[in-house]
């Protein structure tokens, strides 16, 4: 039994926030942000636009691409750090909005690694025969967690959503999820966190980060996760056609590619246009490269991410 990726979809809110706009209110500049991060602009959800709203549009785009309807889907996982409400799960709202009236729906919290964790979770459900067709979404209104006076964090993040349809398939063929690797090291909790929460402060809190330490951890652990996912599949990293990384910072993408000797042309980068959208960034980048024809059926794609926790992981998929 294999989990075949049938379709992908993305969605960004309309409002564009450029570096120049940020530089009007913060001690920063377009040049600094572009040089240190590669980010040129990010999208910000409207006041009345919720994570579930973004998730539903991305999900419908993925369902259209996959040729699947609400009645086909029996598992919904939403990876998010910015749920509509503390409970119920945003996935429950998404399930109802989309008219999916069967199966389970739940949220998964692994911050920027959320989509990779959700993909691996869905794969396990499908391979175990506990669901047939899964809708896996990464969706965030991350702007709501930002301290807009902290130039070290607020320049990096944005809002958006991406989704895939995974379906259990039996029999011959080599399409689908080939291997996944997930890792959490809670000892690095304080490198990237939100200083509020239901149980500890009874507030929502704002993002806090030791940027340069996260940067170093990211290059090391992302490289390791990519090699591990390939090793688990018995494949060399040279066999990979496309790398679809978490879109955090262009310098992290470049650092990983250099470390592993990867041709930069094979790395899908969309960070310039939406910044770090946390759990949404991997499926958003995948969607762009599938739609523009770079990623073709049969090709081998390696996705990866690192985020708060720290969490990190990788997933190798034959499209």
Catalytic site positions:
112, 246, 276
Show the site string, 153-172: x = touches ligand COA by CB under 6 A, - = not.
Answer: --x-----------------
Residue 141 CA to residue 203 CA, distance in Å, equals 17
Number of amino acids touching ligand COA (CB under 6 A): 20
What the block records as the tokens of 145 is: 């967690």
Give whole-number Cα distances, 308 to 223, 229, 277, in Å.
Answer: 17, 20, 13
The interface region with ligand COA, picked from 121-129, 180-188, 210-218, 220-228 by CB under 6 A, is 210-218
**Does residue 102 belong to the site contacting ligand COA (CB under 6 A)?**
no
For ligand COA, the closer CB: 160 or 307: 307
For ligand COA, the closer CB: 95 or 276: 276
For ligand COA, the closer CB: 138 or 307: 307
The interface region with ligand COA, picked from 11-19, 123-131, 150-158, 267-275 by CB under 6 A, is 150-158
The interface region with ligand COA, picked from 31-39, 126-134, 230-238, 287-295 by CB under 6 A, is 31-39
Residue 66 CA to residue 8 CA, distance in Å, equals 7
What the block records as the tokens of 166 is: 């995974």
CA 44 to chain centre: 17
For ligand COA, the binding residue among 64, 71, 203, 212 (CB under 6 A) is 212
* Shortest distance, position 36 Cβ to ligand COA, whole Å: 4
Residue 140 CA to residue 45 CA, distance in Å, equals 9
For ligand COA, the closer CB: 126 or 218: 218
* Shortest distance, position 103 Cβ to ligand COA, whole Å: 30
* Shortest distance, position 32 Cβ to ligand COA, whole Å: 4
**Does residue 36 belong to the site contacting ligand COA (CB under 6 A)?**
yes
For ligand COA, the binding residue among 119, 248, 268, 319 (CB under 6 A) is 248
Question: Beta-carbon neighbour count of residue 266 at 10 Å?
Answer: 14
What the block records as the tokens of 146 is: 């930002």
For ligand COA, the closer CB: 18 or 130: 18
Question: Nearest 5°: phi and psi at 2?
Answer: -130, 150
For residues 158 and 49, the answer to whether their CB atoms sit within 8 Å is no
Q: What angle do CA 154, 48, 54 make, to 5 degrees?
A: 75
Q: How far apart are the first and last CA of the chain?
A: 16
Determine the length of the chain: 319
Question: Nearest 5°: phi and psi at 103?
Answer: 80, -175
**Which one-letter DSSP state was computed for residue 25?**
H
**Does residue 82 belong to the site contacting ligand COA (CB under 6 A)?**
no
Question: Nearest 5°: phi and psi at 58?
Answer: -60, -40
- Report the residue number whose CB is nearest to ligand COA: 211
For ligand COA, the closer CB: 201 or 212: 212
The interface region with ligand COA, picked from 79-87, 98-106, 117-125, 204-212 by CB under 6 A, is 204-212
Residue 115 CA to residue 69 CA, distance in Å, equals 22
**Does residue 273 belong to the site contacting ligand COA (CB under 6 A)?**
no
Chain residues binding ligand COA by CB under 6 A are: 28, 32-33, 36-37, 112, 151-152, 155, 209, 211-212, 214-215, 218, 248-249, 276, 306-307
């Amino acid at each position: 039994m294999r989990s075949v990726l049938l379709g992908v979809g993305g969605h960004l809110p309309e409002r564009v926030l450029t570096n120049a706009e940020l530089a009007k209110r913060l001690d920063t500049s377009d040049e600094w942000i572009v040089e240190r991060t590669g980010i040129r602009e990010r999208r910000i959800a409207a006041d009345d636009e919720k994570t579930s709203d973004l998730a539903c549009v991305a999900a419908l785009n993925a369902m259209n691409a996959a040729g699947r309807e609400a009645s086909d889907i029996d598992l919904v996982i939403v990876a998010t750090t910015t749920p509509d409400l503390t409970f119920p799960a945003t996935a429950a709202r998404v399930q109802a909005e989309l008219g999916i009236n069967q199966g389970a729906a739940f949220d998964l919290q692994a911050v920027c690694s959320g989509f990779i964790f959700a993909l691996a979770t869905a794969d396990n459900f499908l391979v175990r025969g506990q669901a047939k067709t899964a809708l896996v979404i990464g969706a965030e209104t991350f702007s709501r967690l930002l301290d807009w006076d902290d130039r070290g964090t607020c320049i990096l993040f944005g809002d958006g959503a991406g989704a895939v349809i995974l379906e259990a398939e039996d029999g011959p063929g080599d399409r689908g999820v080939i291997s996944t690797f997930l890792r959490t090291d809670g000892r690095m909790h304080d490198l990237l966190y939100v200083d509020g929460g239901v149980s500890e402060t009874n507030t929502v809190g704002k993002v806090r980060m030791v940027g340069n330490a996260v940067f170093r951890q990211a290059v090391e652990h992302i490289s390791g996760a990519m090699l591990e996912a390939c090793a688990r599949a018995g494949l060399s990293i040279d066999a990979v056609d496309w790398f679809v990384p978490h879109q955090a910072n262009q310098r992290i993408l470049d650092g990983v590619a250099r470390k592993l000797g990867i041709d930069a042309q094979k790395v899908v980068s969309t960070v310039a246009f939406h910044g770090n959208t946390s759990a949404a960034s991997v499926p958003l980048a995948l969607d762009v490269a599938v739609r523009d024809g770079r990623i073709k059926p049969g090709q081998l794609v390696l996705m990866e991410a690192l985020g708060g926790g720290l969490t990190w992981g990788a997933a190798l998929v034959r499209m």
